[in-house]
Chains A and B, each alone.
Chain A
Amino acid sequence: MHAFVTQFWPSTIDGLTIGSIYGLIALGYTLVYGVLRLINFAHSEVFMVGTFASLFTLHGLGITHAETGFALVGVLILMGLAGMAGSGITAVVLERVAYRPLRKRGSSRLAALISAIGASFFLQEVFALRYGRDLLSFPPLMNKTVLFHIGSGQVRADKVLVVVAALVMALALDRFVNGSRLGRGVRATAQDPDTAVLMGVNIDRIVMITFLVGGMMAGVAAMLYGNYFELTQYNVGFLLGIKAFTAAVLGGIGNIRGALLGGLTLGLIENYGGSVFGAQWKDVIAFTVLVLVLMVRPTGLLGEKLTRARA
């Protein structure tokens, strides 16, 4: 336990940072599940496409060394927009070609799940064939300046950016879902699609928007991930996607605030656990959490809120 105490602040900072990324990706799982009762397993590849879009933006801008000031802010914004566009469009296309045709035919949820896994492999392989299977590194964009210390923990600018950006995006999403016409349509559809249709809600449009918004959140996560780890790969989404799914379940799948809370909680548990058992145990700890949550509290920390339980 000594390591836990000495590593407490560094673990907390790293846990919140990676947890914010989990949380942003988890939002996509939770939104789609809330509306369609579908686990979009290809969401991990939606994220992956976002990291590539962010990387290509840096290449396109000819970034080779760290920027500062307005240039840095401008590049980060462009990177974020590219990530959102890449991931958002991928998610929408995925819905069109992999899910909607099945939905229109009234296929079972199992068919959609298999389609999701197929789409996931398809996207991975396309990117592997096009860009290779090796790790691709990002040019260093941001100086990893230490802003201040908390205990033995260093609070670095790139980590602060991750946490702040994730919180801002999650707040914006919460506002969209709870305070706008389309958000109301999303919630109405999640609660009772048949009645929503009778009230004139255009379900196809709502589903498209759900995928788009979930994808955009993953795109922001992708930009933050790229800026923080400075690496990506055709299968970068795999482990991260499952972790984010764990975060969504932990927070209560279908619950937007739960997704972020679940992400942060998972990030912290993983890092605290890692400090005690060794960093190589992080993934074991994360998936033990998934199994425990499913066994002990399948509705997660906050329960399902976007939707209501359906038989």
Chain B
Amino acid sequence: MTESAALLELRTVTQQFGGVTALSEVDLGVPEGAIFALIGPNGAGKTTVFNLITGVYRPTAGSLWFGGAKISGKRPHEVARVGIARTFQNIRLFDNMSALENVMVGADARHDSSVVGAALGLRRHRREERDGRERGMQLLDLVGITRVAEDTAKGLSYGDQRRLEIARALATQPRLLLLDEPAAGMNPAEKEQLGVLIRKIRDIGVTVFLIEHDMGLVMQVSDRVAVLDFGQKIADDTPSAVRTDPRVIEAYLGAPADAT
């Protein structure tokens, strides 16, 4: 089932919490350079997949692979370092820092000047600071919020906070960006712009893995869509094929047997 050119792979992953099976033998392959969407009704196990990828959970069975290397069992900061970044369903910015500073935190892991250098304001440290600011501004520009660069994160509008989270994640220079319901709470115009942004991100060479409720957005941007229902994968195909898949329609519209 997995693609040969998959950047991220889940191989027969099972995740149980006590007696509850959140994921059951799920295989997924996210092709490099694609926009991959994972959809499914509430409680289908979508966020569990993200928590597995980022090392928050360890799979009960099965394994996860990124760029040919096994990542299941790695801790969150190690996963961050191999090139996977994420945004959160509930926005988690550094509230008291400016938008630009939030992005710079993401970029900082790439620099290496010392405490002493920072304290004395040495030239290399100053240059890194300048580079960090420039790179930060570029990313804010990419997501379209340079106008609020110096505002504190908590003062930004909801849509801008979502964009800032994406910019901050990109600042870590990931190969794979995980977006957890980025369209939640957005109005139709904002969703439209978000779709444009997601494609822009793919076009600069970052593979995008999207969890989303908004079917319109998913169908508009995705190259491939997988569907989870009660912890099992019931479809994995192009958007147009998934849209007409009877099992998917059943899962969403709720046939009597599956209704709860």
Which residues of A are in contact with B by a Cβ distance under 8 Å?
Answer: 172, 176, 179-185, 187-188, 191-192, 194-203, 209, 212-213, 305, 307-308
Stretch at the interface among B36-44, B89-97, B201-209: B89-97
A100 to chain B, nearest CB (A): 15
The answer, yes or no, to whether B222 is at the interface (CB within 8 Å) is: no
Separation of A197 and B86 alpha carbons in the complex (Å): 12
Q: Decide if B77 is an interface residue (CB 8 Å cutoff).
A: yes
A184 touches B97 (CB 8 A): yes
Contact partners of B25 in chain A: CB under 8 A = none
Say whether A198 contacts B105, CB under 8 Å.
no
Bound complex: CA of A35 vs CA of B104, how far in Å?
19
Question: Does B132 reach chain A (CB closer than 8 Å)?
Answer: yes
Task: Output the least CB separation between B68 and chain A (Å).
Answer: 21
The 9 nearest A-B residue pairs measured at CB: A200-B109, A180-B118, A188-B105, A197-B77, A191-B94, A181-B108, A199-B106, A195-B92, A200-B80
Q: Does B161 contact A (CB under 8 A)?
A: no
A187 in contact with B96 (CB, 8 Å):
yes
- A129–B169 alpha-carbon span in the complex (Å): 53
B115 contacts the other chain (CB 8 A): yes
Nearest CB of chain A from residue B47's CB, rounded to whole Å: 15
Interface string of B108-145 (1 = CB under 8 A from A): 11110101001100000100110010000000000000
B172 touches A192 (CB 8 A): no
Q: Are B109 and A180 interface neighbours, CB within 8 A? A: no
Q: How far is the CA of A172 from the CA of B115 in the complex (A)?
A: 12
17 A-B residue pairs with Cβ-Cβ distance under 8 Å, sorted by A, are A172-B119, A180-B118, A181-B132, A182-B118, A183-B118, A184-B108, A185-B105, A191-B95, A191-B97, A194-B92, A198-B77, A199-B172, A201-B105, A201-B109, A209-B115, A213-B115, A307-B96
Given A176-B118, A191-B94, A192-B94, the answer on whether A181 and B86 have CB atoms closer than 8 Å is no
Q: Could you say which residues of chain B place their CB within 8 Å of the CB of A213?
A: 115
Cβ contacts under 8 Å, B94 to chain A? 187-188, 191-192, 195-196
Select which of A179, A181, A185, A202 is within 8 A of B77 by beta carbon.
A202
CA of A202 to CA of B81, assembled, Å: 10
In the complex with contacts A181-B132, A184-B101, A188-B97, A199-B92 CB distance below 8 A: no
B76 at the interface (CB under 8 A from A): yes
A200 and B118 form a contact (CB under 8 A)? no
Measured in the bound complex, the distance between the Cα atoms of B129 and A203 in whole Å is 20
Bound Cα distance from A64 to B225, whole angstroms: 81
Contact across chains for A176 and B96 when beta carbons are under 8 A apart? no
Task: Pick the most buried of A198, A201, A305, A307: most chain B CB atoms within 10 A of its CB.
Answer: A198
> Is B85 part of the contact surface with A, judged by Cβ < 8 Å?
yes
Cβ of B14 within 8 Å of any chain A Cβ, yes or no, is: no
Give CA–CA (A102, B171) in the complex, Å: 32
Interface string of B63-96 (1 = CB under 8 A from A): 0000000000000110011000110100011111
Query: Which B residues are CB-close (under 8 A) to A181?
Result: 104, 108, 111, 113, 118, 125, 128-129, 132
CA distance A132 to B60 in the complex (A): 59
Can you name 8 extra interface pairs (CB under 8 A) apart from A181-B132, A192-B92, A199-B169? A181-B129, A184-B105, A188-B94, A195-B92, A199-B80, A199-B85, A200-B106, A203-B77
Q: Which residues of B contact A176 (CB under 8 A)?
A: 118-119
> Does residue B15 face the partner (Cβ distance < 8 Å to A)?
no
| B168 within 8 A of partner (CB) | yes
Give complex CA distance A197, B128 in Å.
21
Known contacts A181-B128, A191-B96, A305-B96: A197-B108 contact under CB 8 Å: no
